[in-house]
Amino acid sequence: MRDLSQQFISDSRAFLTLDYMPKIERCLAQLTEEQVWSRANGASNSIGNLLLHLAGSSRMWAIEVIGGKPIGRNRQAEFDRREAISPEQLMASLRAAMKEVDAALAEIRGDALVEVRSRGEEEMTVLWCVYHIVEHFSMHTGQILSMTKAMVGELAPAAESR
């Protein structure tokens, strides 16, 4: 029988790399640069901002909080950016970030899931951090899917299903 903690790590990595990332890539393949950076209103984020935020947040939790290596993240800059970055560059940056995140998650030993990490004055377990990376990525993936459908209608079919 497979160790439950290792199954959790494996399943978490699969959600990020085999489920959410392809959905985001499918969306970006159907959008223009202008659509990627458009906002419904001043209080809304663009897909471009969400992609910057996903890369920054995922790296922060996996590399900095779990791994203990500062990354120098400026969270507000992820949302403040208005200058366009091409969809191809955004996806390349997100892929690179998620490659780092996946490698960091792959290194987590099962017994480390109950270890406590700190972020400022907050304390949480490594399990909580991994769970947060996955649920946060899921939430923003859903937003990106919804925003894309609002702009282009029905999404093109996926190349293959999981």
Q: 87-142 pLDDT, tens per residue?
A: 999 999 999 999 999 999 999 998 999 999 999 999 999 999 999 999 999 999 99
Range of the structural domain that residue 65 is part of: 4-152
- Would 158 be classed as within a structural domain? no
- Residue 131 covered by a domain: yes
In a domain, 129, yes or no: yes
Residue 111, domain member (yes or no): yes
pLDDT digits (tens, 9 = 90+) for 53-90: 999 999 999 999 999 999 999 999 999 999 999 999 99
Indicate whether 161 belongs to any domain.
Answer: no
* The overall pTM is greater than 0.85: yes
Answer yes or no: is 102 within a domain: yes
DSSP notation for 81-140:
--S---HHHHHHHHHHHHHHHHHHHHT--GGGGG-EEEETTEEEEHHHHHHHHHHHHHHH
In a domain, 51, yes or no: yes
Number of domains in the chain: 1
CATH of the domain at 11: 1.20.120.450
Cα(50)–Cα(54) distance, rounded to whole angstroms? 6
157 — pLDDT class (breaks 50, 70, 90): confident
